[in-house]
Structure 1
Amino acid sequence: MQNLIDQPKVALTGPKYWWQKEVFYQIYPASFKDSNNDGIGDIPGIIEKLPYLKNLGITAIWLSPIYQSPMVDNGYDISDYQAINPSFGTMADFDTLMAKAKALDIKIIMDLVINHTSDQHRWFQAALKDPNSPYRDYYIFKPGVNGGPPNNWRSNFGKGSSWTEVPGEANMYYHHVFSPQQPDLNWENPKLRQTIYHMINWWLDKGLAGFRIDAITFIKKDQDFAAITPDGQDGLGKVKRKTENRPGLDAFLTELKQATFQKHDAVTVGEASGVQYDQLPQFIGKKGYFSMIFDFHYADIDVASGSEWYKRIDWTVPEFKALLFKSQLAIQATGWGANFLENHDQPRSISKYIRDPKYQNTIGAKALATLYFCLRGTPFIYQGQEIGMVNALRQDINAFNDVSSHDNYQRAIAEGYGAKVALACVNQRSRDNSRTPFQWSAGVNAGFNQGHQPWLGLAQNWQQLNYQTEKDDPASTFNFYRQLIALRNHSQFSADLIYGAIAPLTAPDDVVAYRRGDSLQVYVNLSSDQQTLNVTPKALILNNYDTLIQTDQTIELKPYQAILIEVDEHGN
């Protein structure tokens, strides 16, 4: 196959937005590289691995939270927005990371978590201490009803009420969409909003390129705080029915953009759960709130809902295709999307999307990489995805760190699932799957550190699957990702792969097929059966197998084979 990695760069033309041609890499700091051997990854570890990221070819880093935090939800419970958690390093370390990344022409964005704080945040502590404190109005406090919580809303983590009684204050509760240690901020308070905006601008002034914005569609709550029809044996109902993407959210998001992001030409990636496709113009249109959004409609195909993933769904490839193309075409008609297979909240994609265990390997990893990386939108790679990391397997619920894994396990038990089935569900979907330490080598602790027990146990296959075994293998998953990045950003195909329109193509049921631009076509067989394509390529650009079975008018795709081909313009 033609080597495209070292070809000269091709000048790109197209829309004016700089972030459209970036390739993002998400780092989960606790699990990336531990520089001081305390068991927790850190900022100096990220600095150490910047040359690795440059070699991979990425152009921007998304850092999961490194703010000061008690780490109940692994940093998504922030106790100080303008301080670095000591386990990750210091603000001086962060400034060094920014400078060294800039020298390598790598941008950095951070997580922005502004639906809630930690219960250890000084604002919340002041609110608890004094009911008359102005900080009481920074959060949502309500009196109980009939000796219980204000209503029957269930926490989004799957178990128990979204209300917790205030210690030492009878019949008074505070609200939390997520865990009790993550009290929700009261966005109805203008003073709170201005304080948040000041913090955001402080970070942007430091040189951040932008933010991935966490749980942002939850900041507006229905102000009637009314009870809802129960949807479980516990008599509670999903909190998102009254708190996710609710009327009035538009005013908050418009003000947020105008007061912060718009002033800095910042890239913003919204975690926009609950957004319907007919609302996309508001979110990512020309005057939308964000640069792009993550769409979870197809990513959550395997579960009944994103927060109740103990309810498994046996999806089919045609169903997956329909959701994928519906998403791509809706976003294309409006604006720009952020394409992903994995993140810190999702299981490993090979374990999730490759149904046949025989192909949960390099073949499957490359098939999925081809499928999503060539879609229209900005690609996001999650750490370890580029070497083909897979889910871990744990034998006991107590081996899980993730708070939502424990909640889903208990909820499954309460709903009548047996312990074995409940544990299997958690193993398939736990957020711990993507949070296991990066597998750098076959050495001690997979090269994550020098021997101190990592904060989370390694996945079982680290001695066989790691960066050290892949870096010099031209057929490795790692080098396949390097080639994909080079094709997208530095080849004669860049204009089509970045800016070209996407259109689904007719193909067998188990083949995902689409066109990019005028002359590129992608075919990915997501089954264990050989599939016949009626297509004649002008050139084979990318193939996850060593060979391709081809006649004058047809191509035979082997199980989980994926190809990117060039065809005559407007050819079928």
Structure 2
Amino acid sequence: MEKKWWQKEVIYQIYPKSFYDSNNDGIGDIKGITQKLDYLQSLGITMVWICPIYQSPMADNGYDISDYYQLNPEFGKMKDLDELIDQAKEKGIKVVLDLVINHTSDEHIWFQDLLENPETSKYRDYYILKSGKDGQPPTNWRSVFGGSVWEPLKNTDQYYFHSFDVKQPDLNWENKQVREELYQMVNFWLDKGIAGFRVDAITFIKKDQNYGDLPADGVDGLVKCTKKARNQPGIETFLHELKDKTFSKYDCVTIGEAPGVPYDQYGDYIGDNGYFSMIFDFRYADLDVASGSEWFRRIDWNVLDLKKLIFTSQREIQKAGWGANFLENHDQNRSISKYIKQEEDRHFHSATMLGAMFFFLRGTPFIYQGQEIGMTNFERKRIEEFDDISSIDQYYRSMKEGFSAEEALHFINLRSRDNSRTPFHWNAKEYGGFSEVKPWLGMNENYKTINAEQQEQDPHSILQFYKEIIQVRQKSEACDCLTYGEIEPILEDHPTIVAYKRIWNQEEVVCYYNFSSESQPVELELTKYDVLLDNYKEETVPSLKQKCSLKPYQALVLLKKEASHHE
């Protein structure tokens, strides 16, 4: 395998609106990130991915861009970003931005021109316009955020297409001019010195050009648009061109958000000549719901189900190329609240076990802000307390599908994207030290007990353990094995233990994670191993017995001794 620099990175995702507010307007900003670079450096991360900071009316918190070349004033000025890039570089931290090129905001100058001159606008073909049928939308497709994908274009019989919110019209990738404009913009940002992009919703850029109806799959009479507007044949032409005209000219990293790609196509995405450096696989993140966009179709799952999804993903990615491993992101709920089912089991050991389990999988690890201190889901009492458009849509759709208001609220409390978007807990002061004024989104009240300042002072905190995890992957004697090594599942049928080996040349690292609140015996001759990591290390004296017992929620990472001195 050819080694690439980005395989060695540890990436920290920042949701800028909620990270740190430097000017006390209740909204996090770019200067806030710069002021917290020492915190990020001491954690040990090597790269930050920052969610969109471009000019936007913020209908979808920045994923609706009205000007690709300007920053949203609430986040700061271009000089603030230049300063962040420079100061981060001095601390050995690279900066990756979000790239949103499936759609723009309806307030983008192109779309505004189309609204003003629907017949003559030179941007008419920049978007997807179709005539209605008998006063009805052109097709019965449902958008990801609910309702029809079609919205009437005022004073015409035409409708425009939006895979997501009504304020996010999709760009027409069939139009070469649109593509050229986008490539120029991508290169503008890469020339600025960023390390690359996380590429948003990229599998939506190709639509089935026959625009036909499908049988409805909900009481609204609509059908998920993903069947006709995601990962369609022909997308490969666009993705190859995107790479050739932009990414391949730079030594940059690209991380594709590519839902809906079947495993047998992973080679096209992340293989030797793949479109991206790595992609996210959402199958294990969405194991509790029938699909990422239908939270009311709940699925009961167990540790075996999770393990199967993770190992299938690892095997398929390993065959094809390189993966991006994550537990949380800005579209997911908090991992300790999702993967640890009993509330009383959510504590230091379960949070650190989860952290280590995903961190040493094969691929580049991503940490989402607040994950490293064990931030949890909140519970909101009323729909009015939610900001996320997806949550609000799911609430009303749940009730249309026959659930009560209480049940609907329960579903969105579990899955709301607002769970991960609450302001970061810096300390126990009011508003968690995020801001001195009321933040843009209601705080999770447990900031008094879960916060970074407290954990920095406690040698046995989740934060300190995350620092240790990162050190082990990046700087221990087993670092090459834990980065580049093959992954081999072990104990695949065990109901509560997730375990695997990492193998590189003569080295072997064995990893055990107990997802149970009870001790579990394992066959393990401890004398043959050196302990690299143990979240019970203060209380574990490894016995020299053949049998070893994993404590509740124990994470144990071991380096095989015969191999420990080989290079």
Q: TM-score range by the shorter chain?
A: over 0.9
Amino acid at match of 1:273: P
User: Does the aligned pair in 2 maintain the 1:533–1:557 contact within 8 Å?
Assistant: yes
State the Cα distance separating 1:570 from its structure 2 match.
8.7
Report Cα offsets for 1:328-378 as digits up to 9, x if no partner. 011111110000000000000000001121221211110110100011100
Match of 1:384 among 334, 345, 370: 370
What is the rounded CA distance, in whole Å, between the counterparts of 1:251 and 1:90 in structure 2? 36
Residue of structure 1 aligned with 2:523, choices 534, 542, 547: 534
- CA contact under 8 A between 1:356 and 1:528: conserved in structure 2? no
CA-to-partner distance for each residue in 1:469-493, whole Å, 9 max, x for gaps?
1002111111111111111111111
CA apart distance, 1:550: 4.4
The amino acid that maps onto 1:558 is K
Residues 16, 558 of structure 1: alpha-carbon distance in 2 compared, 3 angstrom cutoff: closer
Write the distance in 2 (CA, Å) between the matches of 1:351 and 1:74.
23
Q: Which amino acid is the alignment partner of residue 53 of structure 2?
A: I
Which one scores higher on RCO, CA 8 angstroms, separation ≥ 6? 1
Q: Which residue in the other structure is 2:267 paired with? A: 281
Work out which of the residue numbers 110, 117, 121 in structure 1 matches 2:104. Answer: 117
Indicate how the Cα distance of structure 1 residues 465 and 292 shifts in structure 2: closer, same or farther if over 3 A, else same.
Answer: same
Normalised TM-score (structure 1): 0.95
Instruction: Kindly indicate whether the alpha-carbon contact (under 8 Å) linking 2:491 and 2:497 is maintained by their aligned counterparts in 1.
Output: no
* Cross-structure match for 1:17: 4
How far 1:551 moved relative to its partner?
5.6
AA in 2 matched with 1:530: S
1:430-454 deviation line (CA, Å, top 9, x unaligned): 000000000000012100012x110
Tell me what 1:547 maps to.
Answer: 539
The match for 2:206 is: 220
Match among 50, 53, 74 for residue 87 of structure 1: 74
Could you tell me which runs of 5 or more consecutive residues in structure 2 were left unpaired when the two chains were aligned: none
Could you tell me how far apart the structure 2 residues matched to 1:32 and 1:23 are?
Answer: 18
Residue 471 of structure 2 corresponds to residue 486 of structure 1: yes
What is the SS of the residue equivalent to 1:321?
helix
1:315-334 equivalences under 5 Å are 315-334=301-320
Structure-2 separation of matches of 1:569 and 1:85: 56
Alignment-derived partner of residue 143 in structure 2: 155
Tell me the alpha carbon deviations over residues 391-426 of structure 1, each in whole angstroms, 9 at most, x when there is no partner: 111001110000000000111000001111110110
Within a 5 Å distance, the mapping from 1:244-393 to structure 2 comes to 244-393=230-379
% identical aligned pairs: 54
Look up the match of 1:523. 512
SS in 2 for 1:311: strand
Amino acid at match of 1:24: I
Q: 2: distance between equivalents of 1:80 and 1:521?
A: 49
Q: Which residue in 2 is equivalent to 1:3?
A: none
Partner of 1:180, secondary structure, is coil
CA positional deviation for 1:568? 4.5
The one of 480, 496, 508 equivalent to 1:495 is: 480
Superposition deviation, residue 521 in structure 1: 0.8
CA distance, structure 1, for counterparts of residue 323 and residue 3 of structure 2: 15
Residue in structure 1 matched with residue 126 of structure 2 by the alignment: 138
Q: Verify the 8 A CA contact 1:536 1:567 in the aligned structure 2.
A: no
Q: CA-to-partner distance for each residue in 1:76-96, whole Å, 9 max, x for gaps?
A: 000000100000000111111
Q: Deviations over 1:265-284 (max 9, x none)?
A: 21000001001111011000
1:567 equivalent to 2:556? Answer: no
Q: What RMSD over aligned residues (CA atoms) do the two structures have, in Å?
A: 1.3
Deviation at 1:191, TM superposition (A): 0.4
Q: Is the CA contact 1:40–1:87 (under 8 Å) kept in the aligned structure 2? A: yes
Aligned counterparts of 1:156 and 1:533: Cα–Cα separation in 2: 45
Please point out which of 63, 73, 87 is paired with 1:76: 63
Query: Per-residue CA shift, 1:30-84, capped at 9, x if unaligned?
Result: 0000011000000111110011101111000100000000000000000000100
Counterpart of 2:558 in structure 1: which amino acid?
Answer: I
Q: CA deviation at 1:563?
A: 1.0
Separation in 2 of the partners of 1:562 and 1:378?
20
SS in 2 for 1:164: strand
Quote the Cα distance in structure 2 between the aligned partners of 1:559 and 1:489: 27
**Does the residue aligned with 2:295 lie in a helix, a strand or coil?**
coil
Deviation at 1:16, TM superposition (A): 3.1
Return the alpha-carbon distance in structure 1 between the equivalents of residues 320 and 435 of structure 2. Answer: 45
CA distance in 2, matches of 1:479, 1:191: 50
Structure 2 CA distance, aligned partners of 1:362 and 1:506?
Answer: 25
Partners of 1:308 and 1:529 lie apart in 2 by 33
Query: Which whole-Å deviations, capped at 9, do the CAs of 1:145-198 have from their partners, x for residues lacking one?
Result: 1211001000111x21111111222x2110000000000000000000000000
Question: In the aligned structure 2, how far is the partner of 1:290 from the partner of 1:104?
Answer: 26
Task: Return the letter of the residue paired with 1:267.
Answer: V
Q: In 2, Cα distance between the equivalents of 1:303 and 1:569?
A: 44
Give the aligned partner of residue 230 of structure 1.
216
- Give the Cα–Cα distance (whole angstroms) in 2 for the partners of residues 71 and 564 of structure 1: 43
Deviations 1:514-547 (A, max 9, x none): 0011321111111223211111231222112233
Q: Are the aligned partners of 1:519 and 1:569 in contact in 2 as well (CA < 8 Å)?
A: no
Q: 1:110 is paired with a residue of what secondary structure?
A: strand
Asked if the contact 1:550–1:556 (Cα under 8 Å) also holds between the matched residues in 2, the reply is no
* Structure 1, unpaired ranges of 5+: 1-13
8 A Cα contact 2:29 2:75, kept in partner: yes
Partner of 1:38 in structure 2?
A: 25
Shift in alpha-carbon separation, 1:569–1:288, aligned structure 2, 3 A = farther
1:193 maps to 179
1:399 counterpart letter in structure 2: E
Q: CA deviation at 1:559?
A: 2.0
TM-score, normalisation: structure 2: 0.96
Alignment of 1:95-114 (within 5 A): 95-114=82-101
Give distance in 1, aligned partners of 2:534 and 2:3: 32
Give the secondary-structure state (helix, strand or coil) at the position aligned to 1:221: coil
Question: Aligned in 2, Cα 1:453/1:569: closer, same or farther, shift over 3 Å?
Answer: same
Question: SS of 1:62's equivalent?
Answer: strand
